[in-house]
Structure 1
Amino acid sequence: MAQSQGWVKRYFKAFCKGFFVAVPVAVTFLDQVACVARVEGASMQPSLNPGGSQSSDVVLLNHWKVRNFEVRRGDIVSLVSPKNPEQKIIKRVIALEGDIVKTMGHKNRYVKVPRGHIWVEGDHHGHSFDSNSFGPVSLGLLHAHATHILWPPERWQKLESVLPPERLPVQTEEEC
């Protein structure tokens, strides 16, 4: 009887040691390196959720790629909503700081993206709450870079950083 209690005690100690190492490692990984997220809504169609409301893509979000605010035009990024800090939104980067962008429904026809900001839009124009509604977004609101579609299995793919030709900035900072 004493022998079986000793085994249980050793097992419990080993479990606790593993648990108290694994949990902080997992939390750090999910917070600093990568996580997965389900994409809801139609704002990024057809790139994400092409099936409409009956399907939701699950994407891999890479936190590490945006740690130095290094984003490119065409990247699909997750960011904290400028209107609701409890919500994360996913959009495509259209313009970087210093670029002049022709807007689609914003109060100004042309906007020069200020220093430390980006211009983001959904791929499904007219069905997206994006920079055309709230203006340029601070780089500090960046959460992650969406790199792959993980679910559903038939849509497994790497997400390419492609900027639609009609959404190219009117003038980029390099051209100034």
Structure 2
Amino acid sequence: MAQSQGWMKRYVKAFCKGFFVAVPMAVTFLDRVACVARVEGASMQPCLNPGGSQSSDVVLLNHWKARNFEVQRGDIVSLVSPKNPEQKIIKRVIALEGDIVKTMGHKNRYVRVPRGHIWVEGDHHGHSFDSNSFGPISLGLLHAHATHILWPPERWQKLESVLPPERLPVWNEED
């Protein structure tokens, strides 16, 4: 009996040591490096959730890539919603700071994206709550880059940074 209690005590001690090392490491990894997220809704169709309401893609979100606010036109990014800070949204970057973009339903026909901001839109126009609704979004709300579709298995792929030709900025500072 005493021998089994000694074994149990060693087991609990080893478990606690492992737990108190593994949990902070896992939290740090998920907060600073990468995590996964389920994409809901039709705003990014056909790129994400092409099956409509019957499917939800699961994507890999790379926090590391977003830590210096390095984004390019065409990137799919996760952002803190400017209307509801408890919600994350996923959209495509259409324009960067300094670009002039032709809007789709915004109060102004053309918008110059201010410094420290980006213009984001969903791929499914008319079914997306995006910059056309709330304007340019601060880079401070950038959460992560979506880099891969992980689920469902038949859709496993790397997400490409592709900007639809009809959504190119009217003018950008590189011109």
The two structures have a TM-score, normalised by structure 1, of: 0.99
Structure-1 separation of matches of 2:58 and 2:15: 32
1:9-42 per-residue CA deviation (whole Å, 9 max, x = no partner) reads 0111000000000000000000000000000000
CA RMSD of superposed structures (Å) = 0.4
SS in 1 for 2:174: helix
1:121 Cα offset (Å):
0.1
What is the distance in 2 between the residues matched to 1:142 and 1:111?
20
Q: Offset at 1:4?
A: 1.1
Give how far 1:5 is off: 0.8
Alpha-carbon separation, structure 2, partners of 1:173 and 1:167: 16
Q: CA deviation at 1:59?
A: 0.3
**Counterpart Cα distance in 2 of 1:107 and 1:27:** 41
* Stretches (4+) displaced over 3 A: none
Distance of 2:82 and 2:143 partners within structure 1: 12
Shift of 1:159: 0.2
CA distance in 1, matches of 2:19, 2:70: 35
Give, in angstroms, the shift of residue 85 of structure 1. Answer: 0.4
Partner of 2:10: 10
CA-to-aligned-CA distance 1:32-62 (integer Å, 9 cap, x gap):
0000000000000000000000000000000
SS of the residue 1:173 aligns to: coil
CA offset digits 1:145-168 (Å, max 9, x no partner): 000000000000000000000000
Partner SS, residue 93 of structure 1: strand
Question: What corresponds to 1:79 in structure 2?
Answer: 79
**Over residues 56-91 of structure 1, what are the superposed CA-to-partner deviations in whole Å (9 max), with x where a residue is unaligned?**
000000000000000000000000000000100000
The alignment partner of 1:150 has SS state of strand
**5+ residue gaps, structure 1:** none
Q: Which residue of 2 aligns with 1:167?
A: 167
Distance 1:52 1:81 in 2: 22
Secondary structure of 2:160's aligned partner = coil
1:174 positional shift: 1.5
- Find the aligned partners of 1:12 and 1:127 in 2 and give their Cα distance: 53
**TM-superposition CA deviations, 1:90-122 (whole Å, max 9, x none):** 000000000000000000000000000000000
Could you say which residue in structure 2 is the equivalent of 1:104? 104
How far is the alpha carbon of 1:173 from its aligned partner? 1.2
Distance of 2:12 and 2:173 partners within structure 1: 60
Gaps of at least 5 residues in structure 2 are none
Count of aligned positions: 175
Aligned identity (percent) is: 93
**Alignment pair present for 1:122 and 2:122:** yes
